[in-house]
Structure 1
């Protein structure tokens, strides 16, 4: 008698909040690929990075009819809290895959450091759960996710067929163009690009000073193998990511210096 095929469990979270169009599009893209469970923040958490909630209680509530046929939960915590709560209090086991996103806005280059989307995916990888973070290079609430959904389904279905390393972690970004203009997928390295920041000084109605962070994104990396180049040229960028921040080249040099 043939062995029944195991249905994979897919955990979905984000940093834009459970009501964001991005997470709805992510659910729709993969809900036919396994048992999908959503655990997401109750409000936007962009730029939260790898923050966790300490010193105050976390709320966790089941949501009815948020996503048709999909078990959904909302928490007062951060994206990283969502992953931790999902494994410990909802699934009571590790899912087969964790997906984070689809983020409204790019998470290429240095953004991976600040991103709540990628930090949730990274937390899953730290917990030995293969994970992927997805982002669309469009901050508009009415953004067109058609191309992103197409490639999410292709990417996730591909990796569900493979035996993945327990720390498998990808940062995937989609260009903001119609599906027919996307040229395909590029496997990339993270570009050296960042925001040249400035704090604009203003005054509140009481005459007291406050500051508003502004700045422009600057790409210092002219390589054609980077995520920024790929997105600028209408490719889906995939960057393999790791949470080991060791600089192995410098480590080797220092070992010679201090031997």
Structure 2
């Protein structure tokens, strides 16, 4: 067995996205890499899984045959499930997802396929990190991400990520020399004010384009949005237990069985 950690790499932008290619490059300097990623874009899929159709995984050649890569027909969460259960020879020591083209800070974590892949690994008891760059373009420059991705990954492997916690890492879209450092933050309270652009196709059938404006309702200086605005890399410890524990007592006071 290799002494290097086994790292499962995935994403939601698709296996050919520049972000995942950069992530693979960094992970190869840290451990043994196996890639299981969607065969096409799966952004905004959240934690969707495939249950009503078949899944396919195709082994593809990696550059210089330095690692294994699989292109999967499913969602990001599917990729992690299939990778763990069928494609990897042993349980990975770490799962990394990304580098996403665009922000997954604040409420965006709910919709993110990138983070859902990491969360799926976390549910399986695998330490996991989702990485995102605040640049939505396909030709985004990920050079500034490299050192921060490597540092955070190595620290996570050294110290361990707390049980049932996944790290949500967002990187500002500025040159590396403009990034002030890394901040461990809480998720900002924010939401999307959404609207639909209603149109008609040539046959007269209505269709809709979703649009919206991101509104940050949280002005705390301990949030991911504040950190990113100040050119810090934000790290949010994210849990997948959605129970509002502090409110269990107040709901019990409703006397639901009376």
For the aligned pair, the TM-score class normalised by the smaller chain equals over 0.9
Name the Cα RMSD after superposition: 1.6
Using the TM superposition, give the Cα deviation of residue 254 of structure 1 relative to its aligned residue in structure 2, in angstroms. Answer: 2.2
Choose the corresponding residue for 2:27, options 25, 30, 36. 30
Tell me if the contact between 1:101 and 1:117 (Cα under 8 Å) persists in the aligned partners: yes
Aligned to 2:153: 156
Match in the other structure for 1:191: 188
Match of 1:97 in 2: 94
CA deviations over 1:188-225 (Å, ceiling 9, x no partner): 10011111000011111222211110111111111111
Is 1:209–2:197 an aligned residue pair?
Answer: no
1:119-134 correspondence to structure 2 within 5 Å = 119-134=116-131
Aligned counterpart for 2:45 among listed residues 33, 43, 48: 48
SS of the counterpart of 2:239? coil
d(CA) in 2 for partners of 1:252 and 1:189? 25
Could you say what secondary structure the match of 1:132 adopts? strand
Separation of aligned partners in 2, 1:238 and 1:55:
35
Normalising by the residue count of structure 2, what TM-score does the alignment of the two structures yield? 0.95
Measured at CA, do residues 66 and 59 of structure 1 come closer, stay the same or move farther in structure 2, by a change above 3 Å? farther
Q: Where do 4+ consecutive residues of structure 1 move more than 3 Å?
A: 163-166, 255-259
**Structure 2 residues without counterparts, runs of 5 or longer:** none
Q: What pairs up with 1:102-117 in 2 under 5 angstroms?
A: 102-117=99-114
Describe the shift of the 1:67–1:201 C-alpha distance in structure 2 as closer, same or farther (beyond 3 A). Answer: farther
Which segments of 5 or more consecutive residues in structure 1 lack a partner in the other structure?
none
Residue 230 in structure 1 maps to residue 227 in structure 2: yes
Question: Match of 2:235, SS?
Answer: strand
Residues 101-137 of structure 1 deviation map (CA, whole Å, 9 limit, x = unaligned):
0000000111111100000000000000010000000
TM-score (norm 1): 0.95
Q: 1:250 aligns with which of 237, 244, 247?
A: 247
Shift of 1:19: 0.4
